Amino acid sequence: MEIKISNITYTISDNKILDNINTTIKEGTINGVIGPTGSGKTSLFQILNGMIKPNEGFMNAGDLLIDDDLSESDIDKVHFNIGYVYQYPEEQLFCKTVEKEISYGLDFFNYKKENKDKRIKDALKMVGLGESYLKKDPFKLSSGEMCSVALASVLAINPEIIILDEPTIGLDVKSKKNLVKIIRTIKRRYKKTIIIISQDIEFIHQICDYVYLINKGKIIIEGDKYTVFKEQKLLKENGILVPKIIEFENFVLNNKNIKLGYRDDVNDLIKDILRNK
C-alpha cells in the first residue's frame, strides 16, 4: 500500500511539531525515519495510524483518507490496515498469555475461531516463536521475545502497512539480528510496506531501502539510503551519526586510495577488502 502525505502540519499550543510535510512512501519498501529526539518523526506516523490528528493536511494510504475529520469508524479501518508496534512492548502488551495477546486484535475485528487459531500460530511462526509460547506470560519474556510478541500481535491482523517505533531499544546483538531477518522476510514474502522510526543508525543503514531525515518538523533530506548517508556534513548538522561502515569506507579511500564501493553489510565489506589486498 502506497502512502501519500500532503501538507501535514501538527501543532501543540503554539509549538509546531510538524511543518507542512509532503512526501510519498512507496508500496513494498522498508523505510527508515531518523532524526534527533523531538524532531517530529514519531508524531508524523502516529497521525498515519490515527493516534493523533493533524491540524492541516491529509494522508492517503490506499483508499484511506486520514485527516482531522477522521471518525471513530474510520480509525478502526486505519488500525486494520496500518499496524503500529510501540517503542516499548510492555506499553502495548496487557494480556496474561501470549495467545490472548495475539488474539485480542483478531477478536476486535471479529475473526472466526477456526481462522483465528491459525492466524495466531502463523503470526508466531513469522516472528520465529514456536507454539510453546502460547501459554507463556509475555511480561516474563526477554526484551527480544516481548518485541516479537508485540510484532506478532500486529502481523496476525495482516495489515498492509507496519510501523515499528524504535524497535531495537533494549535488544541484544542476537535479538537485533533476528529482527533484521524477520523484517526482511515480511517484506520479501508478504510484500508489506514497512516504516521504522529509530535513532539506531546502524540498524537503519543495514535494513532500510529508503531513508527520511526529519528535524524541527520538516523533512531535511529523503532518498535511497546511499543518497542520504553519503551526506555526512548534513547528517552531523542535524545530530545524526554517520554509520560506522561508511566512516571506515571513507577512511580506506582517504588513507589507502582504495575505493571499496557502497556496502551495508560488514561481511560484503570484508570480501571487498580481501579482493583489494
Highest mean pLDDT among 22-26, 86-90, 270-274: 22-26
Q: Which CATH class is domain 3-234?
A: alpha beta
Determine the pLDDT at residue 262: 61
Does pLDDT of 140 surpass 70?
A: yes
pLDDT reading at 114 higher than 80: no
Question: Rounded to an integer, what distance in angstroms lies between the CA atom of residue 230 and that of residue 102?
Answer: 40
* CA dist., res. 251 & res. 269, Å (int): 13
pLDDT tens readout for residues 205-237: 999 999 999 999 999 999 998 889 888 899 999
Please enumerate in sequence order all residues whose Cβ is within 8 A of that of 231, keeping only pairs 6 or more positions apart, or say none: 221
- Taking the C-alpha atoms of residue 114 and residue 70, their distance in angstroms, rounded to an integer, is 33
- Please state, rounded to an integer, the average pLDDT across all residues of the chain: 87
Instruction: Pick the closest to residue 78 from 98, 103, 58 (CA basis).
Output: 58
How far apart CA 27 and CA 162 sit, in angstroms, is 11
Question: How much is the pLDDT for 267?
Answer: 62
Q: Is the pLDDT of residue 113 over 90?
A: no
Q: How do residues 149-182 score in pLDDT, each as one tens digit?
A: 999 999 999 899 999 999 998 888 888 888 899 8
Predicted TM-score (pTM) above 0.95 = no
Domain boundaries, the chain: 3-234, 243-277
pLDDT of residue 117: 87
Beta-bridge partner residues of 60:
4, 65
Grid coordinates representing 40 are 517530529
C-alpha to C-alpha distance for 149 and 168, rounded to whole angstroms: 14
Residue 268 confidence (pLDDT): 63
In the predicted model, is pLDDT for residue 254 greater than 80?
A: no
Q: Residue range 245-272: average pLDDT?
A: 67
